[in-house]
């Protein structure tokens, strides 16, 4: 089903290697066994004992008979090569309207997850971190992709946000929970809750600790996420400081990173104090800006901060929308201002989008339809990451820094920078080859010549292989 990684050399491109180093023109990147084996000026390729690529027409692939070990040489002159992009916060199943969850229930969520992983990969995002989803389906697809049985973005997943109920619980879209058959609502919610749902918010910290320990031990998750702020009523703390500390301790004891979603200044502070490794929505502080002291702590500790930011164009439209609740409107503006201050202070902001896949009917969806009221809808997987980079630049980040924030720093935030996030020898061969300079215009991230994942060149035209939500209505 999926191609086989071959040994190739990409030559001639300008390399933006994800470290923030100056662009390297006419670079060569050698790939073997799914890894990058050598990176440097193309001119140096021969000197180190390897055969240079011969002149090829742009985009042509040729088996170089002279190569070592049958290595294919691809001349990508005129293009720009970056690390495959990484998104630190996606939801491979995000539109939880009944028409979707019921039609694909019970055994077909895998199709939704697979489509999303392929939509992401098609857009050049070679690794995604799913921070809330129906665990079993996400895990199955993750494993199939890892096993090479299915093409798609590499997935790391958290399962449930510990302490939150499922999609039709009061923590998310309560209206569905109130109007559908309770037995069905409970069954659907369980796909997400996995024993660490809302009931944990009622528990003494000691009981909660045990439930979390069990979850970590049996769920096969890659990292831990919990609800610091309540999701639907987000001025409240979902979990006490003691409970938060217990979760972080259990994660660390199991060798996993812990992150949390905090949405007010006090929740953010509580989260930092609990010892999390990554602040999800770290720039979302509701109706009040992030306090200066908290900001300083983030900077000093080098605490990675997954920032949700919207384009100025979107913010202008939100501000002008009288139908929008004040918090939603003001909150978005404050988020961006927080991002600006974090960037200026030298915090480590990384790309997170909260994105998922939406199809033709999403505009009228009770669940996510309102996101379309303003332009630059920011959570649609496939272009959300470009809007993020544009927004980050508007907030003061240099274009090169925005690239680093979308590659190496995501990997760092998740402590996977030894494997991913840069174009350096030894890393996984996840590459994005662009026809135009992404530093000149974020829109150029969409001008994709090639996507390579794990050394495999992706046939993007085939993705998604089985369109589900992205089918025509």
* Beta carbon of residue 299, minimum distance to a second copy (angstroms, whole number): 17
Residue range at the interface with a second copy (CB under 8 A); choices 62-70, 295-303, 358-366, 440-448: 358-366
Residue range at the interface with a second copy (CB under 8 A); choices 92-100, 140-148, 298-306, 442-450: 92-100
Nearer to a second copy, 112 or 239 (CB): 239
Nearest residue to 248 via CA among 218, 219, 220, 279: 279
Place of tokens 């998922």: 356
Nearer to a second copy, 220 or 241 (CB): 241
Find out whether 29 and 45 touch, Cβ atoms under 8 Å.
no
Pairing relation of β-strands 456-457 and 448-453? antiparallel
* Sole binder of a second copy in the list 313, 361, 415, 447 (CB under 8 A): 361
Pairing relation of β-strands 72-75 and 80-83? unpaired
Residue range at the interface with a second copy (CB under 8 A); choices 16-24, 27-35, 241-249, 406-414: 241-249
Residue range at the interface with a second copy (CB under 8 A); choices 29-37, 284-292, 295-303, 448-456: 284-292
Does position 288 interact with a second copy (CB under 8 A)? The reply is: yes
* Beta carbon of residue 303, minimum distance to a second copy (angstroms, whole number): 18
Using the CB atoms, write b or e for 2-11: b if 16+ within 10 Å: beebbbbbbb
* Sole binder of a second copy in the list 73, 123, 145, 237 (CB under 8 A): 237
Contacts with a second copy, 250-279, as mask; x by CB under 8 A: --------------xxxx-xx---------
Interhelix angle for 312-319 vs 326-345, to 10°?
150
Beta-bridged to residue 380, according to DSSP, are: 356
Does position 243 interact with a second copy (CB under 8 A)? The reply is: yes
Give the footprint of a second copy on residues 408-447 (CB under 8 A): none
Rounded CA separation 156/120 (Å): 13
Nearer to a second copy, 101 or 463 (CB): 101
Does position 203 interact with a second copy (CB under 8 A)? The reply is: yes
* Sole binder of a second copy in the list 210, 242, 396, 443 (CB under 8 A): 242
Report the sign of the C-alpha dihedral through residues 262, 267, 272, 273, in that order. negative
* Beta carbon of residue 290, minimum distance to a second copy (angstroms, whole number): 9
* Sole binder of a second copy in the list 44, 51, 72, 105 (CB under 8 A): 105
* Beta carbon of residue 330, minimum distance to a second copy (angstroms, whole number): 10
Nearer to a second copy, 380 or 407 (CB): 380
Nearer to a second copy, 293 or 461 (CB): 293
Does position 302 interact with a second copy (CB under 8 A)? The reply is: no
Find out whether 466 and 115 touch, Cβ atoms under 8 Å.
yes
Find out whether 251 and 224 touch, Cβ atoms under 8 Å.
yes
Place of tokens 């109007």: 179
Nearer to a second copy, 298 or 404 (CB): 298
Distance of CA 261 to the CA centre of its chain: 15
Nearer to a second copy, 18 or 286 (CB): 286
* Beta carbon of residue 102, minimum distance to a second copy (angstroms, whole number): 4
Does position 238 interact with a second copy (CB under 8 A)? The reply is: yes
* Beta carbon of residue 179, minimum distance to a second copy (angstroms, whole number): 5
Does position 320 interact with a second copy (CB under 8 A)? The reply is: no
Rounded CA separation 411/418 (Å): 8
Give the footprint of a second copy on residues 142-201 (CB under 8 A): 170, 175-176, 179-184, 198-199, 201
Contact residues for a second copy (CB under 8 A)?
Answer: 97-99, 102-103, 105, 170, 175-176, 179-184, 198-199, 201-207, 230, 233, 235-243, 264-267, 269-270, 286-288, 291, 294, 323, 361, 364-366, 369, 473
């Amino acid at each position: 089903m999926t191609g086989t990684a071959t040994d190739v050399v990409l030559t001639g491109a300008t390399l933006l290697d994800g470290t923030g180093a100056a662009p390297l023109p006419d670079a060569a990147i050698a790939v073997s066994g799914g890894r990058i084996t050598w990176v440097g000026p193309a001119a140096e390729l021969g000197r180190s004992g390897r055969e240079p690529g011969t002149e090829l027409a742009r985009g042509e692939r040729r088996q170089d008979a002279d190569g070592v070990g049958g290595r294919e040489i691809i001349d990508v002159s005129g293009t720009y090569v970056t690390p495959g992009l990484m998104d630190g916060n996606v939801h491979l199943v995000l539109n939880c309207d009944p028409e979707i969850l019921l039609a694909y229930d019970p055994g077909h969520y895998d199709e939704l997850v697979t489509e999303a992983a392929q939509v992401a990969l098609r857009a050049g995002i070679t690794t995604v971190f799913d921070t809330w989803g129906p665990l079993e389906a996400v895990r199955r697809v993750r494993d199939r992709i890892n096993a090479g049985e299915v093409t798609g973005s590499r997935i790391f997943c958290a399962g449930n946000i510990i302490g939150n109920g499922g999609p039709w619980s009061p923590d998310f879209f309560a209206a569905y929970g109130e109007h559908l058959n309770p037995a069905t609502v409970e069954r659907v919610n369980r796909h997400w809750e996995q024993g660490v749902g809302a009931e944990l918010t009622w528990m003494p910290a000691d009981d909660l600790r045990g439930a979390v320990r069990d979850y970590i031990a049996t769920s096969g998750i890659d990292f831990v996420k919990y609800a610091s702020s309540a999701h639907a009523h987000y001025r409240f703390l979902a979990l006490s400081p003691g409970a938060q500390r217990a979760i972080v301790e259990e994660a660390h004891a199991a060798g996993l990173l812990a992150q949390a979603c905090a949405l007010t200044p006090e929740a953010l502070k509580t989260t930092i104090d609990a010892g999390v490794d990554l602040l999800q929505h770290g720039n979302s502080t509701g109706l009040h800006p992030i306090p200066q002291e908290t900001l300083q702590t983030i900077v000093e500790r080098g605490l990675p901060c997954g920032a949700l930011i919207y384009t100025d164009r979107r913010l202008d439209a939100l501000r002008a929308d009288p139908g929008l609740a004040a918090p939603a409107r003001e909150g978005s503006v404050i988020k961006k201002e927080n991002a600006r201050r974090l960037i200026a202070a030298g915090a480590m902001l990384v790309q997170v989008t909260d994105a998922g896949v939406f199809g033709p009917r999403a505009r009228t969806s009770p669940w996510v339809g309102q996101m379309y009221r303003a332009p630059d809808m920011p959570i649609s997987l496939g272009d959300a990451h470009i809007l993020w980079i544009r927004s980050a630049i508007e907030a003061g980040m240099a274009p090169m820094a925005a690239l680093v924030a979308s590659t190496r720093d995501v990997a760092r935030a998740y402590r996977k920078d030894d494997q991913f996030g840069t174009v350096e020898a030894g890393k996984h061969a996840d590459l994005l080859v662009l026809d135009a300079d992404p530093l000149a215009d974020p829109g150029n991230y969409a001008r994709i010549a090639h996507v390579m994942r794990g050394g495999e060149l992706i046939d993007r035209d085939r993705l998604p292989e089985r369109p589900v939500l992205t089918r025509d209505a």
